[in-house]
Amino acid sequence: MPTSPCLLLDKFAAKNIFNYVDASGELKTIEASSNSNQFKLAGKLVAPSTSAKTHAARGVSKRAISYSGCTSSQQTLISAAAAASNTYVANVNTYLNGISSGTTRYTTWFGAYTAARLSTVRSHYTAIGTDATSTTYDCTTCQNTPGIDYDSTYAYVYSDEPGTIYLCGVFWDAPVTGTDSRAGTIVHENSHFEVNGGTSDWVYGQSSAKSLATSNPTRAIDNADNHEYFAENNPSLS
């Protein structure tokens, strides 16, 4: 096994999967999601070597927000985004607990209503809860991660390592709230963690997410951008 990350690009795979072996000898993938030529990322463990460490499934410990390599101004921006992300999730949980049929907002992002699918969606947001303000935000690692263009990337996570979100260049240019916002990006990334439902990146962008909800509700409730756009609710739907 190489001792430094070796990125093997497969740019046009269905889910834009980039494979690499990290410094500990683990084979990993990063799922890159494109939206207007920008990216949101979610890394997932694929096949660890026998010598690699085992990641036990665990929840995000309820601790204070923390930062790695972030300037004071970046910390201020993250803090505001994390608080707004918690508000998004709290509002979503209130909304979902108050419906028992396919509302316009629900069907737009998650497709035809069934009680089972609603239950799944509820479980994801319930699990996310207030994770945004008990997370470590890493502001520097993305700049040196092989295969990731810092300037065209929002953020990425490793789905089996809850509690850390790696922030990249586009995150800082996004609005605090609204479509493709910093707060929404945090919802998107938190939904990728296995302990929060382990969503995938089937499609990206509002138009494709709406189409997915219509054509394949099962995938829509497993798609991170659908969770983000449902939470951002912009334009507002009832």
Q: Are strands 27-35 and 38-47 parallel, antiparallel or unpaired?
A: antiparallel
State how far the Cα of 74 lies from the Cα of 81, in Å rounded to an integer: 11
Bridge partners of residue 156, in order along the sequence: 166
State how far the Cα of 181 lies from the Cα of 70, in Å rounded to an integer: 19
CB 8 within 8 A of CB 19: yes
State how far the Cα of 169 lies from the Cα of 6, in Å rounded to an integer: 22
Tokens 């607990």 belong to which residue? 97
Bridge partners of residue 68, in order along the sequence: 138
Instruction: Give, in order, the Cα–Cα distances in Å from 130 to each of 19, 88, 139, 164.
Output: 31, 10, 20, 14
Tokens 């970046």 belong to which residue? 74
Please name the amino acid found at residue 93. N
Task: Please list the active-site residues.
Answer: 189
